[in-house]
Amino acid sequence: MFPFRWPDPPFHIILVEPEIPPNTGNIARLCAATGSALHLIEPLGFRLTDAAMKRAGLDYWEHVQLHRHSNWTSFLEAEQPTRLFFFSTTGTRAHFDAAFKPGDYLVFGNETHGLPDELLAEWRDSVIGIPQRTDRVRSLNLANTVGIALYEALRQAQG
């Protein structure tokens, strides 16, 4: 394997009200593979015991640092994050231009509606996007978006 320094502290992936079990399962697997923490903000569109989600995560669930929060406010109170990046198709700054640091929180909305408008308005200076041809697609798959964002953050953490 090639040399790689895993960031300390790890990155945090936050899914706000995720709806599709296999997406969350694939993101959980990604978190296990990178040592990133996964935060799920309720309500969830599925049960954590959903077979499709478990299957997507395969045998990796024991390696996921999973945190559940009943809502956005309880997440903020429990985590007290200092650096948040909100990913949205409405972002006016590309993820390439963000300066990620170990311990950052990368926040993603659900598959149907994205992030709530009130979060985007409150944190407007922290909203970024991933370049895409919106004349051809509405958005990228959530699991793909998390993978793109997280690996850019990991690349930057290498110094």
Total number of domains constituting the chain:
1
How confident is the model over 81-108, as a mean pLDDT? 95
Q: Per-residue pLDDT tens for 137-146?
A: 888 899 999 9
Q: Can you give the pLDDT at residue 47?
A: 77
Residue 36 lies in a domain: yes
Residue 6 lies in a domain: no
Residue 52 lies in a domain: yes
Q: Can you give the pLDDT at residue 50?
A: 63
**What global pTM score does this model have?**
0.93
Residue 109 lies in a domain: yes
Q: Per-residue pLDDT tens for 23-76?
A: 998 999 999 999 999 999 999 987 777 676 666 655 677 889 999 999 999 999
What residues make up the domain containing 33? 12-157
Residue 98 lies in a domain: yes
Which CATH number belongs to the domain containing residue 24 in this structure? 3.40.1280.10
Residue 5 lies in a domain: no
| Residues 20, 9: Cα–Cα separation, whole Å | 28
Residue 2 lies in a domain: no
Q: According to DSSP H, which parts of the chain are helical?
A: 21-34, 51-57, 72-79, 117-122, 142-157
How confident is the model over 85-102, as a mean pLDDT? 94
Residue 1 lies in a domain: no
Q: Can you give the pLDDT at residue 55?
A: 67
